[in-house]
């Protein structure tokens, strides 16, 4: 435990990351997909002489600039802030192993921000050919940020055997490109690219649905229909590429998904499988709504319809990200670091020397409750809270200390067929530390003492 633990009441730290990440992803992916959508729409305007598109497209580029530059940048900082607090060990590993990758990404990000501003502010002020080239500069630079970030994110699920062989030796940099172009790199890149292009079409529908000038009715119809034609192929390809991605993930991750499918009959349909199916269902629902409401009836397509499509996109994005995070359990970096920041290679050492002995954040006390609380904070609070999300009070269900000790012993030395192995890191530490944890958890499992009142000892007076 090299870092203090950030305690977030009720929702827990992981949901802070999740909320910020989903908000950021919906903007960052639009920044990538919209970066290609805008110059291609502008090119169509010039090539086909659709001058009536120009004021609407300019309005859409302003919406694009404000959303991606202001809100995208702020939420990006929010991601770094939240992951650094919730998963400091994993964040440190990613920075140390991919520092040059992040540096390249930030260079492209600066170009992206500058070209986005130039693109918007030079409408009708520079030759059209030059303005279009600025749009393509933005499209290329924003896509290259995705190319780099995708490699780092995919690494967390499939770091690859070459990198795992040298992890912890100080020679990880020698495997930089093998870790970057990991087994799920290309399916992840295609999957994210399609999602980016899909969101570009979704946000365009929001802009175009707000066109209420009767003189621009034909413009609204043609632009909504073109955006629907843009969006539909992307959405329909997503489930196909998702299947490719699932074929490339580790077998242990596939088992987590398959377990839900094979246990439907006995009512054990797992949460992650339900969430993954929600991704597919919402994706096809988006395709249906876009085809029947936007493509077939563009004249009647309203802002409410567009917001509904965006809402479905939020659900699809959130469920996909949730499932991706869950199938990585019990690791935060597959095969290397557990979700509580403990390295797999350190388990035996911690079991012999102790979990709290090397931590500067441990209180100098022999109180078993206090020591047990710090074991809980370091090993359990990355996924659990005391009384909120994945509440320990609810999960313990008023077990006594003997029952809790038995449970902890099973988590310390879990049998291979234990379902906990697929989701939870092994409980590490000396027998005394595990006993301390049992004492602390017993204080959580006890029912609350009823307050004096109508049913208390003073009631008869």
Please provide residue 391's backbone torsions phi and psi, each rounded to the nearest 5 degrees: -60, 130
Predicted confidence (pLDDT) per residue in 57-101, tens digit: 999 999 999 999 989 888 999 999 999 999 999 999 999 999 999
Residue 229 has pLDDT above 60, yes or no: yes
Mean pLDDT of 183-189: 96
> Which CATH code fits 355-445?
1.10.760.10
Predicted confidence (pLDDT) per residue in 134-171, tens digit: 999 999 999 999 999 999 999 999 999 999 999 988 88
pTM of the model: 0.89
Q: Residue 458: what pLDDT?
A: 39
Domain residue ranges of the chain, discontinuous segments joined by +:
13-338, 355-445
Cβ neighbours around 26 below 10 Å, total: 22
Residue 395 has pLDDT above 50, yes or no: yes
Would you state the structure tokens that stand for residue 2, as one six-digit string? 């090299």
Mean pLDDT of 314-322: 89
Q: Residue 453: what pLDDT?
A: 47
Q: How far is CA 305 from CA 57, 61, 229, 319, in A?
A: 20, 21, 16, 21
Q: Which residues contact 181 (CB under 8 A, 6 or more apart)?
A: 151
Residue 265 has pLDDT above 70, yes or no: no
pLDDT classification of 456: cutoffs 50, 70, 90? very low
Mean pLDDT across the chain, nearest whole number?
90
Under a CB-based contact definition with an 8 Å cutoff, are residues 376 and 440 in contact? yes
Long-range contacts of 262-269 (CB under 8 A, 24+ apart): none
Residue 151's Cβ-count burial label (10 Å; 0-12, 13-18, 19+) is: buried
Under a CB-based contact definition with an 8 Å cutoff, are residues 217 and 274 in contact? no
Q: Residue 445: what pLDDT?
A: 87
Q: Whose structure tokens read 């929600």?
A: 278
Under a CB-based contact definition with an 8 Å cutoff, are residues 294 and 249 in contact? no
Q: Residue 447: what pLDDT?
A: 66
Q: How far is CA 389 from CA 13, 259, 446, in A?
A: 10, 23, 19
Residue 382 has pLDDT above 80, yes or no: yes
Q: Alpha-carbon distance 87 to 14, whole Å?
A: 9
Residue 228 has pLDDT above 80, yes or no: yes
Q: Residue 335: what pLDDT?
A: 93
Mean pLDDT of 273-292: 89
């Amino acid at each position: 435990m090299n870092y203090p633990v950030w305690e977030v009441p009720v929702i827990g730290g992981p949901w802070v990351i999740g909320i910020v990440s989903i908000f950021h992803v919906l903007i960052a992916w639009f920044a990538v997909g919209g970066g290609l959508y805008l110059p291609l729409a502008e090119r169509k305007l010039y090539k086909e002489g659709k001058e009536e598109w120009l004021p609407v497209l300019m309005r859409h580029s302003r919406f694009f600039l404000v959303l991606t530059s202001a809100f995208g940048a702020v939420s990006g900082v929010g991601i770094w802030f939240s992951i650094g607090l919730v998963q400091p060990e994993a964040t440190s590993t990613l920075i140390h192993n991919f520092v040059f990758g992040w540096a390249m990404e930030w260079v492209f990000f600066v170009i992206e921000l500058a070209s986005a501003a130039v693109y918007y502010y030079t409408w009708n002020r520079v030759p059209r050919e030059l303005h279009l080239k600025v749009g393509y500069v933005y499209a290329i630079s924003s896509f290259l940020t995705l190319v780099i970030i995708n490699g780092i994110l995919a690494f967390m699920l499939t770091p690859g055997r070459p990198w795992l062989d040298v992890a912890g030796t100080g020679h990880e940099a020698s495997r930089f490109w093998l870790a970057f172009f990991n087994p799920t790199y290309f399916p992840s890149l295609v999957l994210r690219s399609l999602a980016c292009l899909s969101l570009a079409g979704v946000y365009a529908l929001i802009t175009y649905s707000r066109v209420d000038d009767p003189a621009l009715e034909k413009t609204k119809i043609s632009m909504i229909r073109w955006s629907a034609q843009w969006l539909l192929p992307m959405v329909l390809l997503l489930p196909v590429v998702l299947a490719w991605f699932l074929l490339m993930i580790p077998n242990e991750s596939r088992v987590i998904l398959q377990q839900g499918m094979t246990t439907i009959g006995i009512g054990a349909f797992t949460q992650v499988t339900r969430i993954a199916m929600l991704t597919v269902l919402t994706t096809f629902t988006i395709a249906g709504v876009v085809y029947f409401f936007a493509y077939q009836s563009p004249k009647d397509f309203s802002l409410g319809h567009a917001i509904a499509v965006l809402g479905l996109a939020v659900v699809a994005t959130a469920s996909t990200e949730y499932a991706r995070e869950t199938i990585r359990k019990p690791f935060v970096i597959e095969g290397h670091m557990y979700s509580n920041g403990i390295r797999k290679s350190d388990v035996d050492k911690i079991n012999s020397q102790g979990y709290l002995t090397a931590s500067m954040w441990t209180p100098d006390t022999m109180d078993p409750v206090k020591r047990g609380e710090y074991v809980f904070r370091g090993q359990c609070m990355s996924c659990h809270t005391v009384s909120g999300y994945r509440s320990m009070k609810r999960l313990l269900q008023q077990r006594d200390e003997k029952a809790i000790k038995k449970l902890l012993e099973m988590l310390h030395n879990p049998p291979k067929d234990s379902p906990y192995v697929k989701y939870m890191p092994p409980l590490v530490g000396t027998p005394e530390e595990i006993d301390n944890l049992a004492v602390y958890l017993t204080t959580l499992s006890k029912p609350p003492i009823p307050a004096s009142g109508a049913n208390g000892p003073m009631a008869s007076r």
